[in-house]
Structure 1
Amino acid sequence: MDSWAVNERTRPLAAAFTTVIVIIVYLVEEMHVTRPGRSKEPSIFRDLTRKRHMERILRGGQDYCVSYLRMDVGPFLHLSSIFRDKHLLVDSRHVSVEEQLAIFLHIVGHNTKNRIMRVEFLRSGETISRYFNNVLRAVCAIRDDFVHPPSGTCHHEIETNPNWYPFFKDCVGLLDGTHVDASVPSNEIPRFRGRKGPTQNVLAVVNPDLQFTYVLAGWEGSANDFTVLKDVLARPHPEGLKVLEGKYYLVDAGYTTMNGFIAPYRGVRYHLKEHSGRPPTNPKELFNLRHSMLRSRVERAFGTLKNRFKILTSHPFFPFRTQVKLVLGCCIIHNYIAGVDPSDRILLEGSTQQDEYINASQTRSQRAQREENRQWVELRDNIANDMWNRYNGFV
């Protein structure tokens, strides 16, 4: 049999074999692409749709980007580059760092459920969850870059305001607590139940330009603010709150005046609404008025934080440990935006809104504690009298 006849017989077999190989390769690729929960649409079209979605977010105009990501395009791209340069996030084969960060910001900014994000980004629920947690870890890893403890120097906003300087020149922060909705197992609800259901009690210190300098989250909502403060002071560095020698934090009437903390006078008008149309009539009222003007900045910071990140105002759907990390992560991003984009719309809305109303863990005798507290009460009295004398032109 000549070679021509052999080729004629084997040619159909070779063609059939090639066809089988092509079909097998195609099916293998489809098995990798078409997993449970994923669209059977060819991956090239899904990738194109995702690309257009990101372009619409970043090029749809400032209002669109801020509404979707809760920050402007410039800060968003800069934050992405920080994570990439620090090797905290990496571009995967199909998901860029920018898309990972966009997924995270949209969830925390709008409290968006996983099933909605699957539609928004054409990703599986497992992919959304994985990258959300990756970004949260990356955000917490840059805490020291954007949450700076007080330096002890007088803040420029105090120094340049005659209502506060020189009276509060030694103030290094404004301290207060807030409640954030929490989801906990049913057997733990009584411990976490606050006035508005289960919450976690968050204690924070803010400087006059609305940036957080200390944050502690995770205390149950039933705990009072002073109990949380005592725990903060008993914690070792760096978890604990540092009290600088001769310096102090301004606190509200829920706390007490003691070493490193000055509260307003009780039983005296305090909130700004109470002073509306009524000038102060004595040193204590004047002190409380200016104390309230300055300390209200911490309320503004909390308001801005919750306005930007709606996940902090809704019952979360994450494990409690993640809920605690989310509070810290949101504070870090808040500080980042305040530092790189002072003209941020959400931050400006919070800045212009109307005002609302030594290691402390060392054991000491009650007598020594009372004596020390008395000295800080006298300091408050001296500040109030000096403030009153200057207010009336006696100095």
Structure 2
Amino acid sequence: MDNDGDCSDEQSVINMVQGAALSVLIIIITVIRRMQARRKSIRSGPSKEKRRRERARIEHISRIYNGFSDSCVNYIRMRSGAFAKLASIMRNNNLLKDSRNITVEEQLIMTLNILGHKSKNRIVRSHFIRSGETVSRYFNKVLQAIICLRGRYMRQAPNDIPQEIINNPLYYPYFKDCIGMIDGTHIDAMLPINLVARFRGRKGVTQNVLAACTPNKLFTYVLAGWEGSANDYRILQDALSRPQPHGLRVYDGKYYLCDAGYPTMPGFISPYRGVRYHLKEHSGKTPKNRRELFNLRHSSLRSKIESTFGTLKNRFKILCAKPHYPFPIQVDIVLACTVLHNFIITVDPSDELLNNDEINEDIDSEVAFENDTNLVDFTQNQTQREQTESRNEWKTLRDDIAWAMWVDYCDMYNHGVITET
């Protein structure tokens, strides 16, 4: 009995060894065949099918560049000259690289088409004959590369008077200390069911984006990712409480124009409440008093940021849809679109979507801010009394601006009679 058991154990060991040897042999043969097939493929070049796909891609990209005069703008939402410079910047700064199968230009075209037309992955897959995984991988890679240009093409407002204010007698010298405008906008969002309630506001399920811009439609600060249910002032408080360079810059004595959703306080001047404000409310009517005149000119200047939002969403249609991406990617999409907006203004100021605005400020390279000592520190806590006093001071400043406007207006149009109704 024992001998039979020993024989059985020995036979089991032999069978296991033979099985393992056979498995190793199969693996070796498989590896050798694959290496032979790869060498053969290298010697013989790409297959007919691969060459056909490559020709189709080249023809598709050529049609974008060399088709109708507006083919490039229609497909990637910028003109060919701006696109060529963007590709050159990406390549020269090692933000994107040509891979063995896909160039920097193709990576950018796929991504810009998705941003500009909210194109689905399967559509881009069909246009470029790429796998869905390839399209998705390069979309995320290009997004991060664009965001890396943020420090170069999105600088916070300098401590200077914008030329658009200096050159307009309706604004200067009254708004001589204005460095920009701020406002919030809502971008449709897609979220897991457990987060939907937090992001649901009066405009549906959205992310609330705070932005600041200059009168020439350049974004100077963008804070994205807040819940759509959050009010604008709460988001502004968050932007101000962040340490530099991540917080919104406010210089001592300077201010941003904002709408009635924000209070008048140090660094921010809102319109008079209870007085007609929007430009359409003033249509065909003349100002009857200093408050109406102030609100009219305040609205005229602050409307620049509303126009900027309109231009941004008109160019990048993905901001008007519910993108099917994880929420962090949705936030990155907003940031990337605003950086691209600034890039296009900088390198192609005659772009038709910008209404032919003239760009007077050169922001083609990074410049350090020299006036940081004048920044207002909003991280210091104030008592309720101190907050009230500082807000009253800025309301008085608003009154002084309104009175100066009214006196000059009456001198010009009312024979110097400053009576108000």
TM-score (norm 2): 0.83
- Cα distance in 2 between the residues matched to 1:55 and 1:153: 44
Q: 2:139 aligns with which of 132, 141, 145?
A: 132
- Cα distance in 2 between the residues matched to 1:152 and 1:241: 13
Contact 1:303 1:350 in 2 (8 A): no
Q: 1:378 aligns with which of 396, 399, 415?
A: 396
1:300 is matched with: 307
Flag the 1:24–1:161 CA change in 2: closer, same or farther, 3 A: same
2:228 is matched with: 221
Q: Secondary structure at the match of 2:222?
A: strand
Deviations 1:109-164 (A, max 9, x none): 01111111110111011110111111111101110110011111000000000000
Gaps of 5+ in 2: 1-32, 359-375
2:159 is matched with: 152
- Structure 2 residue 56 is matched with structure 1 residue 62: no
Deviations 1:234-259 (A, max 9, x none): 11111111110000000001111001
Deviations 1:261-290 (A, max 9, x none): 000000001000000000101000000000
Q: 2:60 aligns with which of 17, 36, 53?
A: 53
TM-score (norm 1): 0.88
Deviations 1:303-347 (A, max 9, x none): 110110011000011110010011010000000001111111112
- After TM superposition, give the deviation of residue 63 of structure 1 in Å: 1.1
1:388 is matched with: 406
Contact 2:350 2:357 in 1 (8 A): no
1:75-94 aligned within 5 A:
75-94=82-101
Contact 2:233 2:261 in 1 (8 A): yes
Deviations 1:70-97 (A, max 9, x none): 0000000110000000010011112111
Q: 2:123 aligns with which of 116, 140, 158?
A: 116
- Cα distance in 2 between the residues matched to 1:276 and 1:349: 25
- Structure 2 residue 357 is matched with structure 1 residue 347: no
Letter in 2 for 1:25: A
- After TM superposition, give the deviation of residue 364 of structure 1 in Å: 1.2
1:25 is matched with: 37
- Structure 2 residue 203 is matched with structure 1 residue 191: no
Deviations 1:173-213 (A, max 9, x none): 10000000011110000000122321000000010011100
Letter in 2 for 1:371: E
Q: Secondary structure at the match of 2:194?
A: helix
Q: 1:238 aligns with which of 242, 245, 251?
A: 245
Q: Secondary structure at the match of 1:92?
A: coil
1:139-288 aligned within 5 A:
139-288=146-295
Letter in 1 for 2:381: T
- Structure 2 residue 321 is matched with structure 1 residue 314: yes
- Cα distance in 2 between the residues matched to 1:350 and 1:231: 32
Please report the RMSD computed on the Cα atoms of aligned residues, expressed in angstroms.
Answer: 2.1
Contact 2:232 2:262 in 1 (8 A): yes
Contact 1:304 1:350 in 2 (8 A): no
- Cα distance in 2 between the residues matched to 1:237 and 1:172: 18
Contact 1:212 1:331 in 2 (8 A): yes
- Cα distance in 1 between the residues matched to 2:69 and 2:160: 36
Contact 2:349 2:357 in 1 (8 A): no
- After TM superposition, give the deviation of residue 25 of structure 1 in Å: 2.7
Letter in 1 for 2:343: Y
2:23 is matched with: none
- Cα distance in 2 between the residues matched to 1:247 and 1:22: 69
Letter in 2 for 1:384: A
Tell me which structure has the larger Cα radius of gyration.
Answer: 2
Q: Secondary structure at the match of 1:186?
A: coil
Letter in 1 for 2:145: A
Flag the 1:22–1:190 CA change in 2: closer, same or farther, 3 A: closer
- After TM superposition, give the deviation of residue 61 of structure 1 in Å: 3.3
- Cα distance in 2 between the residues matched to 1:325 and 1:22: 41
Contact 2:64 2:72 in 1 (8 A): yes
Aligned length: 362
- Cα distance in 1 between the residues matched to 2:39 and 2:127: 27
